[in-house]
Amino acid sequence: MVGGELVGTMEVWLEPSLDGVIVHYFLHAEPAGCGDPAAITRTRRIAGKTMSFDLKAETERGRAPGEPPLYAGP
């Protein structure tokens, strides 16, 4: 469930790809209050992209493409 300025649902799933992963997300939500729907949509799209790139930066920690991961679990 998503709550706050938006009300609805969100799915996040990970797809293994080569030596990494692709993050997918699907947000189905409506604004909870008044406002310009186009502006709200743009703000949420930017927030989603920012979240994705922040997650990428944190999980890769500067690892160059093709280098082994810092931790390759069991």
Residue 26, CA atoms < 13 Å, CB-side half-sphere: 4
Number of domains in the chain: 1
In a domain, residue 49? The reply is yes
Instruction: Look at the chain and count its residues.
Output: 74
In a domain, residue 65? The reply is no
In a domain, residue 20? The reply is yes
In a domain, residue 74? The reply is no
Tens of pLDDT, residue by residue over 14-63, are 998 877 788 898 888 877 777 787 888 888 889 888 988 898 888 888 78
Cβ atoms 62, 70 nearer than 8 A: no
In a domain, residue 31? The reply is yes
pTM of the model: 0.58
In a domain, residue 70? The reply is no
Give the domain extent around 13: 6-60
CA dist., res. 17 & res. 19, Å (int): 6
The C-alpha angle with vertex 55 and arms to 53 and 60, in degrees rounded to 5, equals 95
pLDDT at residue 50, rounded to an integer: 92
Q: For residue 41, what are its two tokens?
A: 């949509």
